Amino acid sequence: MDKIIDESLSFAVEQYSLMADVMLDRPDLLPRTIDEEGNLVTAKSNWWTSGFFPGSLWYLYEYSGDEKIKDAAIQMTSRVEREKYNRGTHDLGFMLYCSFGNGFRLTGNTDYQDVMLTGAESLITRYRPNIGCIQSWNSRREWQCPVIVDNMMNLEFLMWAFRMSGDSTYYRICVNHSDTTIKNHYRPDYSSYHVVSYDTITGSVEIKQTHQGAADESVWSRGQSWGLYGYVVMYRETGLERYLDHAVRIADFLIGHRNMPEDMIPYWDFNAPGIPDAKRDASAAAIMASALIELSGYVQAPLMEKYLQVAEKQVRSLASSSYRADPGGNGNFILMHSVGSIPGNSEVDVPLTYADYYFIEALIRLRNL
């Protein structure tokens, strides 16, 4: 396992060094994926994945000590700073905490701290007190106040803001959001809907759907991983046992699912049509692996060994030629075969920056055990 970890991280440094060179000629943009011809697709800082490339660079600097990687991390992080004022998205955790958060952790740069505290203030303007959740997407015809399970991932950012500022507002919002999500997003088997929309006046549930999955009642794999990761974080940050219990139940549901493949890389939806020939989602596996590694540290044997074994199997699979790119290929991304949205016909069977980010994070977490 140690050999796989070091080989994969060294490969990631090489790939992302090449990516950083390419991005120097594309000011104000950040990598997103590749198109059908294999050409790099970029996005502006207001796209929800903007923080993952700089965040990955910070992780790779932490691993390698390579000053070129650090310089690239600083430059790419600066491209996201304007989003600290963005009150039109719930994704500021992804945008700012993955980038500036890792940068602050590794450098202690107080300017980074200031950016994040401003961003945290922007994010909580989306909190709806009568619902008990942070609104995800903006209202549209079919949804008054949509909240997606992915939103659990942005709470780590707000819990950081609570620790740094001492303002208990952040803590209360995170706990209320987490409790409301357990109540309304999760089914009796501990699978999750993707979207729950609320009535803005009464605060009651308006509709439950799965927007990026195969069907409303299906088990969209990346959404399950987002939820698992989010509740592991909330247990770490609050010590509340109900979040640990919920994370364990989600983990056990996913690991034991009848449609989990042998290599532990989920199909894009556990109920996808065409299984076993349905597309896999490397991003769902990478997020799940990173979450399981942390979760293993909060439970006793035999669960500890179980979660680590699954995470290590996922990392071995992702590091294999079936999922990891060839040097200099894949648009300089690390992993192949992720899925954005099959219903939306968007980013299907391509590399994605967040798949790489959580794969790198999982590797570093294993290395630090």
Instruction: Measure the CA–CA gap between 74 and 50, rounded to whole angstroms.
Output: 14
d(CA 198, CA 130): 10
Residues contacting 209, CB < 8 A, separation 6+:
193, 194, 195, 196, 197, 216
Q: Can you tell me the distance from the alpha carbon of 112 to that of 122, in angstroms, rounded to the nearest whole number? A: 15
Point out the catalytic residue in the list 66, 71, 91, 216: 91
Contacts of 146 (CB under 8 A, 6+ apart): 135, 136, 137, 139, 140, 195, 196, 197
Q: Please, what is the angle between helix 241-255 and helix 168-185, to 10°? A: 40
Q: Which of helix, strand or coil describes residue 122?
A: helix
Give me the count of residues in the chain: 369
Catalytic-residue membership of 150: yes
Read off φ and ψ for residue 348, nearest 5 degrees: -100, 120
Q: How far apart are CA 32 and CA 95, in angstroms?
A: 13
- Residues in contact with 190: Cβ distance below 8 Å, sequence separation at least 6, in sequence order: 246, 249, 250, 252, 253
Q: How far is CA 311 from CA 6, 9, 112, 306, 317, in A?
A: 16, 16, 32, 9, 10
Q: Which of 111, 150, 252, 277 is catalytic?
A: 150
Contact 54, 98 (CB under 8 A): yes
As annotated, the active-site residues are: 91, 150
